[in-house]
Amino acid sequence: MSISNIPAGIHNFNAGPSVLPHTVFEQAAQAILDYNGSGLSILELGHRTSAFEAVMAEARSLVKALMNLDEAHEVLFLHGGATTQFMQVPMNLLDDKETAAYTDTGVWGAKAIKEAKLFGKAEVVCSSRESNYTYIPKDFAVPNDARYLHITTNNTIYGTQWQTIPHTSNVLVADMSSDILSRVLDFNRFDLIYAGAQKNIGAAGVNLVVVNRNILGRIKRPIPTIMDYRNHIREGSMLNTPPVFAVYVCLLTLRWLKAQGGVAVMEQLNNAKATLLYDTLDSLPIFRGTVNKEDRSKMNAVFVMDDPALETAFLDVCKAAGIVGIKGHRSVGGFRASMYNALSLDSVTVLTGLMKDFAQRRG
């Protein structure tokens, strides 16, 4: 199941922007010089041309196919990344006297809660803040009158992931920025999904939004034109000039994903990578995982060492072996191995081999 797509000697565990398939780099580089023999670079291609309209249409179609979306769900490629969605979601779904339910499972969920409070009441129905977000809360209730429930499916900084999506009769909204298209889900269960592209589906600069059009159009307040999802749906994600190159890189990555066998094959590969890393971690007392085992992320494995001097030494060993992006976020410390779709099993094998060797020599 290993996918070889990285330059020799480099193993990219960056949390984002992150590893992409090497074939995507090659195709994107060629398109910068000459897009499909047109004599024009993709960087200077007009977004209203038939050539780019075909790019956008294929990218949206691939998302619908890979996620097995029904006719009610629309696919958009928008500016602003996931951070813009922290405000755009409540702006479109929440009136000022209504309540939305939010789960607080990490920095990005907390930021989304802060923005939602500008538009209505954001009720925090569960939180793991008191433990520095080391687990996913299990027992919580969502108010029946909540306009929607918002979850962050994977927490990049802390290394937790919702292994079971909550069942709710409310509208379900999910930030899937760091695990989009990494595992098989019933994506039609979600009424709105958003995901910054730069972790699993493309380059930084564009945000994927999947929205059930039936939940839109009930807000009483005026919505600025550029912030209204309905306008973007009507204009096919080209209400204004889209981030042309970033969308094109998404298209190339989506084509690659389809060619690998789709989301089910990615899930198998991601499970194999996560199993190898966590089994190794648990077998070496010199390292220690930071989150509850049942909530461990398949995308971002976070772990520490009790001796800071050893952490520095291990980072040096990783650097010498061509492993990049392994240093943990300042909120947690230690190490973070991000294992997105395009990361090969070979790279995880190199990392776990180093962990075993280091533990034998220094543990």
CATH of the domain at 216: 3.40.640.10
Average the pLDDT over 181-207 and give the result.
97
- For residues 275 and 161, membership in a common domain is answered with no
The domain containing residue 355 runs over which residues?
Answer: 261-362
Q: Is residue 13 part of a domain?
A: no
48-57 per-residue burial string, b: 16 or more CB within 10 A, e: under 16: eeeebeebbe
- For residues 272 and 237, membership in a common domain is answered with no
293 has catalytic annotation:
no
Q: What is the spatial distance between Cα 298 and Cα 192, in angstroms, rounded to a whole number?
A: 22
CA distances from 21 to 6, 98, 269, 339, 343 (A): 7, 44, 14, 13, 8
Residue 340, burial from CB neighbour count under 10 angstroms (0-12, 13-18, 19+) = buried
CATH number of 309's domain: 3.90.1150.10
* Active-site pick, 175, 191, 228, 295: 175
- For residues 81 and 117, membership in a common domain is answered with yes
Q: Is residue 12 part of a domain?
A: no
Torsion angle of C-alpha atoms 61, 201, 6, 317, degrees rounded to 10: -170
Q: At 8, is the pLDDT very low, low, confident or very high (cuts 50, 70, 90)?
A: low
Residue 175 has pLDDT above 50, yes or no: yes
Q: What is the pLDDT of residue 308?
A: 85
- For residues 231 and 273, membership in a common domain is answered with no
The reported pTM is 0.95
* Final residue before a domain boundary, out of 230, 260, 290: 260
CA distances from 258 to 52, 220, 330 (A): 20, 41, 36
- For residues 232 and 331, membership in a common domain is answered with no
**Residues paired with 175 in a beta bridge:** 152, 194
- For residues 39 and 99, membership in a common domain is answered with yes
**Residues paired with 78 in a beta bridge:** 207
- For residues 160 and 131, membership in a common domain is answered with yes
Neighbouring C-beta atoms of residue 249, cutoff 10 Å: 27
Q: What is the spatial distance between Cα 260 and Cα 257, in angstroms, rounded to a whole number?
A: 5
Q: What is the pLDDT of residue 9?
A: 73
* pLDDT tens figures, 23-76: 999 999 999 999 999 999 999 999 999 999 999 999 999 999 999 999 999 999
* Active-site pick, 108, 273, 295, 298: 108
Q: What is the pLDDT of residue 7?
A: 45
Q: Is residue 18 part of a domain?
A: no
* pLDDT tens figures, 92-114: 999 999 999 999 999 999 999 99
- For residues 248 and 330, membership in a common domain is answered with no
Place of tokens 């060619």: 259
Residue type, 236: G
Q: Is residue 1 part of a domain?
A: no
* Final residue before a domain boundary, out of 204, 226, 260: 260
Q: At 284, is the pLDDT very low, low, confident or very high (cuts 50, 70, 90)?
A: very high
* Final residue before a domain boundary, out of 219, 234, 260: 260
298 has catalytic annotation:
no
Annotate 71-124 with three-state secondary structure: CCEEEEEECCHHHHHHHHHHHHHCCCCCEEEEEECCHHHHHHHHHHCCCCEEEE
- For residues 117 and 251, membership in a common domain is answered with yes
For the chain, what is the domain count?
2
117 has catalytic annotation:
no
* Active-site pick, 199, 228, 256, 273: 199
- For residues 220 and 272, membership in a common domain is answered with no
Q: At 2, is the pLDDT very low, low, confident or very high (cuts 50, 70, 90)?
A: very low
Q: Which of 8-17, 36-45, 127-136, 176-185 has the lowest mean pLDDT?
A: 8-17
